[in-house]
Structure 1
Amino acid sequence: MPDKVKTRYGIAEWYGREFTFLDAPQRKIYAEHALGESAAKAPVCPFQPDQPPCSKRGGVCSMQRYKEDRNGRLGESVGEPVIMCPRRFEADGLVYKWLAQAADFPIHETEVAKEVPFMRSTETNKPAGKIDMIVAHQDGERLQWHGLEIQAVYFSGQGMESEFKALRDDLSEPPPFPSANRRPDWRSSSAKRLMPQLQIKAPTVRRWGAKLAVAVDQPFFDAIGGPSNQLSHDLNEGDIIWLVARIERAFNGALHLAQAHWEVLTLEDSNKRLQAAETISREGFEEALRSRLRPL
């Protein structure tokens, strides 16, 4: 039988550019930025409207699973890229326009606001929590709006420093195969990060007569159950508007953000999805425990 092909997650987009389009000298420049070894200004973020310098440590926008080729180098990609930086969702204003359409706001009359204070400290009276984005429509004195939370995915495993060093020092083609095992950490991204945000913000937003939308990517949404069997686009039937985007590859190989799926869920159903875990049996727990026990 042939040997099983090794796969690992590596960089899909780096400082806003498709990783496999970068040649070795450009990868070296980016690696030096990522390692903090460059005195030059960081490359701009092409996904934000004003294209400021990238502020994400390491500059990795998304990651992708790759096969290892016969020479131990980077081979073909497998599956979809996973978004690591929330700024990636800002490309072309796609999710803002999408939310406006879902809410029946006229696009040419829709406005947005970033990081609007939502909570205030009882000790300092300063903002203690914010909603990532507000998408609004003003009609005279009437103001309609919905909140938008953007959730990228965390990764677990060895940090990226070894990867950046390999890309700095290895000037061969194709790029080196990823230096360590890393994987999307759906649990930290969903139950530990996103669910508390929804539990805090959605009930108040609901009392105010608005909705809270959430932008995630397709791999994230698939990890928490995927599209509902009987999905709803009726904003009156739920509290959370799920906007599920994906990074697609065009005919020329370039990557771009696209709409994949949207639906409306209640806060309770959203929480059930985000927990995405159940307690194992006592027998299973103790079997795992025995394998880990060591002398004191």
Structure 2
Amino acid sequence: MTSTTHDAHASDDEPTPAIEIDAHSSTATTETTAGDPTTRFGIGEWYGQSFTELSAPERLEFSSYGVPAKVSLTKPERERLIQLRRKVDNDVPLNKAETKRHEILENKFCIEQKSTKLCPFKKVDGYGLTPCTKSGGVCSLRAYTRAPNDEVVPVSGAKGALRTLCPYRFHEGATAFNWASSVILGQPFPILVGEVGFLESSETYDGSEGEDVGRIDMVVVDASKPPDYPLPWIALEIQAVYFSGPEMPKLFSQIAKDIQDGGNGIVFPSENRRPDYRSSGPKRLMPQLQIKIPTLRRWGKRMAVVVDRPFYESMGKMRTTDHVSLSDVVWFVVDYKHNPTSRRFELTQGDAYFMTLEEAVKGLTGGTPVAQPVFEDKIRAELSALTPLAISMSAAAAIKTLPGS
């Protein structure tokens, strides 16, 4: 499998009233396009732009692009540049060493901005857009099929929705984060604090006590309250989808060859890739919720989870609650709407679903236990497929382990 991603009331104020929501009843656990030879997943967005609206020369360039070595600022350099810029903006004099450092970092910043492909969704306050660091630059997947004239076109309708691969895709304009804050905290303009340590280790042979061993993706804070007011905040997790199938460079090579042969690069993928919701949901996201929410619940806080609509619809049946005050976790399901002017898809608010941790786990598990007789019939079927020799050898081994044998 190829992975394309890494990794409660907060105040006495009445939260924004919840929108009325019907119980989520999707029972899909796999993509409906799976096994369909006429449909395959290809690139939805590439370096922030709609793949189908790129020109052939742009597709050819993207297919061979690699991040230049030692061009981008490191995280410490970026943080230092922001500090120096704030001093300048606030008319705080820089000493000689700071002036020299500021000049060096600004020059490196200019080179970075001109020499790299910037992620339109990764904007840092006081800095601007940062370079895309995702290998290959694919933001999302999209299903493609062949038209009657053999032209390769995106699948229409719900099956043609984008599947988010890169978690930074959810950062667009802070739309999802502001929405979550508005619904749970009643504050549409929060402050965002990234990757806060939540779990600390105990001292072991191989580690020191107090080391961060688990973080929350983002903490959304209502900073408008007085300093002596209980801090209003929510924990927020974002979950993109992994994909299974061949590495993306094989598709890049197919695109480049098609263009070099006179095509436009919009190809029907030669190999099958598909979103892997089992790895993304039950194996990655569910443990995060099970570890973090019980503590958050004791603290009187809530967890917000941001996913796209195909991810949410891939989960099993879950019962929702009528109001945020009755929930442990709130799912914020986003959609992507195409803007033909900008040649981009824009992240928009979709639906919010309130539920308990237990219901969220049930949905992420995405399955219903079979009855015991059904399970045992499956065991018998497996046994019947074994050869008599295998059964006799297993029985003989078991007899040897009995006392006195």
Match of 1:202 among 255, 280, 293: 293
**TM-score with structure 1 setting the length:** 0.87
Aligned residues of 1:74 and 1:174 also touching (Cα < 8 A)? no
Residue matched to 2:54:
22
Q: Does 1:242 align with 2:322?
A: no
Contact 2:142/2:162 (CA < 8 Å) preserved in 1? yes
Provide Cα deviations, 1:68-99, integer angstroms capped at 9, x if missing partner: 24565522333211111110100011111111
Give the structure, 1 or 2, with the largest relative contact order (CA under 8 Å, sep 6 or more).
2
**What is the TM-score of this pair, normalised by structure 2?**
0.65
Whichever residue aligns with residue 175 of structure 1, its letter is I
Specify whether residues 22 and 114 from structure 1 end up closer, same or farther in structure 2 by C-alpha distance, changes over 3 A only.
Answer: same
CA contact (8 A) 2:318 2:363 kept: no
Query: CA separation in 1, counterparts of 2:355 and 2:181?
Result: 17
Q: Residues 37 and 101 from structure 1, CA distance in 2 versus in 1: closer, same or farther, beyond 3 angstroms?
A: closer
Provide closer, same or farther for how the CA distance between residues 54 and 251 of structure 1 changes in structure 2, counting only shifts above 3 A: closer
Q: Over residues 261-293 of structure 1, what are the superposed CA-to-partner deviations in whole Å (9 max), with x where a residue is unaligned?
A: 1021100000000000245644567779999x9
**Quick check: which one's helix share is greater?**
2
Equivalence map 1:207-286=2 (5 Å)? 207-225=298-316, 228=319, 231-232=320-321, 234-250=323-339, 254-278=344-368, 281-282=374-375, 283=377
Matches within 5 A, 1:68-217: 68-69=146-147, 73-78=151-156, 79-108=160-189, 110-122=190-202, 123-124=207-208, 125-138=210-223, 139-140=225-226, 141-142=228-229, 143-171=231-259, 172-173=263-264, 175-217=266-308
Partner AA of 1:235 in structure 2: V
Asked if the contact 1:233–1:262 (Cα under 8 Å) also holds between the matched residues in 2, the reply is no
Percent identical pairs in the alignment equals: 36
Tell me how far apart the structure 1 counterparts of residues 252 and 46 of structure 2 sit (CA, whole Å). Answer: 11
Q: Distance between the aligned counterparts of 2:45 and 2:383, measured in 1?
A: 39
DSSP 3-state at the match of 1:106: coil
Structure 2 regions of 5+ residues with no counterpart?
A: 1-35, 72-114, 391-405
Residue 240 of structure 1 aligns to which amino acid in structure 2?
V
Which structure carries more strand by proportion? 1
The aligned length equals 286
Q: Aligned pair in 2 of structure 1 residues 288, 161: CA closer, same or farther (>3 Å)? A: farther
Q: Which runs of 5+ in 1 are unaligned?
A: none
SS of the residue corresponding to residue 161 of structure 1 reads helix
CA distance in 2, matches of 1:70, 1:174: 19
- Provide the C-alpha distance between the structure 2 equivalents of 1:86 and 1:111, rounded to a whole number of angstroms: 19
Does the residue aligned with 1:67 lie in a helix, a strand or coil? strand
Q: Secondary structure at the match of 1:92?
A: helix
Structure 1 residues 175, 199: CA separation in 2 closer, same or farther (over 3 Å shift)?
same
Which residue of 48, 71, 82 maps to 2:122? 48
**3-state SS of the aligned residue for 2:122?**
coil
CA deviation after TM superposition for structure 1 residue 151, in Å: 0.2
Are the structure 2 counterparts of residues 48 and 37 from structure 1 closer, same or farther at C-alpha, using a change threshold of 3 Å? closer
Distance 1:224 1:51 in 2: 34
Q: Contact (CA 8 Å) 2:318, 2:359: kept in 1 or not?
A: no
Map of 1:64 onto structure 2: 142
In structure 2, the CA distance between the partners of 1:37 and 1:213, relative to structure 1 (3 Å rule), is closer
Residue identity matched to 1:57:
S
Residue identity matched to 1:96 = F
Change (3 A) 1:259 1:137: same
Measure the CA separation in 1 of the matches of 2:248 and 2:365.
28
- For residues 38 and 220 of structure 1, what CA distance do their matches in structure 2 show? 33
Q: Deviations over 1:124-154 (max 9, x none)?
A: 2321111001111131122110000000011
Counterpart amino acid of 1:243? F
| SS of 2:140 mapped into structure 1 | strand
